[in-house]
Chain A
Amino acid sequence: MLKLRLSGLSCGVCGNFRIPMPIPRSYSNSASSIALSSIDVKPKVPLYLRPPSFSASVSELAKWHKWAKNLASSVGSTFVNLDNGPDSTLLRRELNWLLQDLIELQHHSKILPRLESGNNENLDVSVALRAPLEEMYCVWRQRIEERRPFQYVVGCEHWRDLVLSVQEGVLIPRPETEMIIDLVEDVALNNAPELAQGVWADLGTGSGAIAIATARALRSHADGDARGRVIATDLSPVAVAVATSNVQRHGLEGVVEVRKGSWFEPLNDVQGELAGVLSNPPYIPSGDMSGLQAEVGQHEPIIALDGGTSGTNDLLHLIDGVASMLKPGGFFAFETNGEKQCRFLVDYIQNEKAGRFGDINIVSDFAGIQRFVMGFHR
C-alpha cells in the first residue's frame, strides 16, 4: 500500500488507480474555494529544492523508471486525440525532467544514462533521492491517469531563465507569456529608458512570473542608482503566498512587492504614477471552459482562466483602469486569447479611449497567433 503521508507533493486520491472520469466543474470549484478560504497558506517546496534525504538502490530506481516509461508509452496519442493533451514522446521527456529534479545534480551524469541503457552493474548502489520512491509511483500515476499537470507534480515551472514554484491554485505560467518580457525590454525600455526607474505593476500575478522577470529586466536596464520596482497584485491568497516565496527565492524582496487584492484595488497610492502595467488576465470565454485540455480544466484555477462570456471582462476592466493608473508615457501590455480579442480591444481603445493612448500594437506569439495588445499612455 502506498503511503499518503507526503510533505511537499500532495498525493490526493492516490489509492484510487482507475482512469479518472472528467471531473465535474463543481469539484474544481470546491477545490479552489477551499484554497481561497484558508487564510495562512504555506507555499509548497518544489521537488528540486527538497533535501535528498531519501534513498533507493539503482535497481529499485531502474524498476520504477521502466514502469513509468511504459506507462507513458501506453498513452500513445490518446490524449492528443482526446483534447490536444500530451503524447508519449512528451511524457517520456517529462519523465526525464522528473528524474533530474529527483536526483542531485552532481549525480545526473552517472545515474540518468544508466537507467536508459539498462546497464546491470552495481545495481545495489544506493542513490539519494529528494522524495521517497513510493511517492514517485504515486505522482507519476497522477500525471498519466489523472492528467495532473507536470509542473504541479514537480512543483515548479521553468519559465524564461527562471525556475518558479507553482502549486494547485496558481496558474502555471505559459511559454507564450514569456514574450511580454521581450516587449518590456525591446519596446518599452529601449524606446523610453527612463521607464526603467519607475514603478511597474503586474496584475493578477499568479506565481509572480511577470513581476519577477520584469524586475530583473528593470535592473539590467537601470542607469546609475535609480532603480525601478514592481508591485504584483493578486486576489488569491495561494497566489500571493507562492508569488511572495518566488520573489524571495530570486532575491528581489526590495524590488517586487506582492499585494493582495483585485486588479487595481491595492494600487491607490500609485494612481497616475505607474511606468508600466502588465497582465495575463483570465481571457478564456466561459463557453470554452468545459472543453479545455484535462490538465487545464481539471487542475488549474478557474479564477485565473475564465474571462466571462466573451472572455474580455477582465481585459476591459484593465483597459478602463490603466488610463488613470499610468503616468504620461507609461507602457502597457496585456495577453489575450487571440486575434478576435486583440482586434476588439484595439477598437475599444481607439473608440472609447480616443486620444488617450498611442503606438497601439498587436503582437503575435511564436505560433503566429495574435496574442498581445500593447501601447503607451499619451
Chain B
Amino acid sequence: MSKDVIILAIESSCDETSMAIVKNGHDILSLTISSQIKTHANFGGVVPEIASRMHTENITFVLEETLKKFKGTIADIDAIAVTYAPGLLGSLLVGIECAKALSLVYNKPLIAVNHTMGHIYANNIENKITYPTLALVVSGGHTDLLILKSENEMQLLGSSIDDSIGEVYDKVARVLGMTYPGGPNIEKAAVKGEDTYKLPKPMQDDSYNFSFSGLKSYIVNLVHNEKQRGNEIRKDDLAKSFQIAAVDEIVRKVTLAIKNTGIKHFVLAGGVSANKYLREELSKVCNQNNVKFHVPNILYCTDNAAMIGCAAYPLYKEKKFADFSLNAKSSENIKLYIEKNK
C-alpha cells in the first residue's frame, strides 16, 4: 500500500479565512473556517480592503486552531496547498504569502490550487467522484459546465458569457432591498411567493453557455419603473419568478448535456449549490434521465480550505509544484486552466 498523502491547505480568496489538513484528497483531519460575513453585511457586500485586512489579522489564529485539531505532527504533512485564483487579489495574497512562509519553514513543497477546482473536488469528501462525470460549478464568480474525464483531465462545455448566477442573485436581492448575502434571502422570499411575473427567458440557444445579464437588467428596470409609477412590487412573487427563470435556464443546459453526452454521473459544486430549489430541480432532471446526482454537504459547498486540500491531491501525485514567485490572479479562464494542466 502506498503512503498516505497529507496536505495542509489554505483558502482566503474572498471573505473566509480557512485552513484544513486533508488526507489522500478526501479525508478531512482538521478544518477551520473564520468567516467575516457579519462585518461585510454592514456594507451590503464584501469590501475587498476590509477582507484583506481581516485575513492578515486572522491568519495565525486560524493556523493555530487547525494545527491544534490535527492529531499528527508537522512531520506528517507532505505539502502546503493554497488558492491562487480566482478571487480578490489582496485577499488571495495573504493566503499565498502565508503558504510560502509555511513551505519555507516546514520545508514542504507548495501547491497552487484553482478555487473552482476546489469546489469540484469537494465532491470527493463524502463520496468518490466516478469518471466520467458532468460537473456544474455555480458560485459568486462562476457558472461553468464541464466534463470530468478522469482525475486529471477535463473539458469545458460552457460558461456564463456575462454575470455569474451568484452575482445575479445578489444583484436582484439588492434591488429588492434585501440584505447581503442576497442568495439565501431570495430563496426565503421565493418560498412565500407565487410565480406571477412574466420574465424573459435568458438564452434560447443550444450551446452550453449561460447568460443572466438580460434577466438581471429586466428586473432592475421593472423595479425601477414600478417605483416611478408608484406601484408596489410584490417582492416574494418577483423573487419566485426570478428564481424559476434563472434555475430553469441552468436545468435546461444541464439536460442538454446529459442527453448529448450520455454521461451517467452529475456533480454540483460551488456556493450557490446551497440553494435548495436548484438542488431539487437538478436532482429531478438527473433522476428522470437515470443520472446519479451528487452534491457536497452544505459545509463544503461554501468557501473552505478542505476542498482546496482535495483538489491539491491529484496535483501532488503528479508533482505539479509551485515556486516562491507564485502570484495571485483575480480571474482565470477555466478553458486556459484546463489547457495549461493537460
A binds B: no
Residues of B within 8 A of A (CB): none
Q: CB within 8 Å of B: which residues of A?
A: none
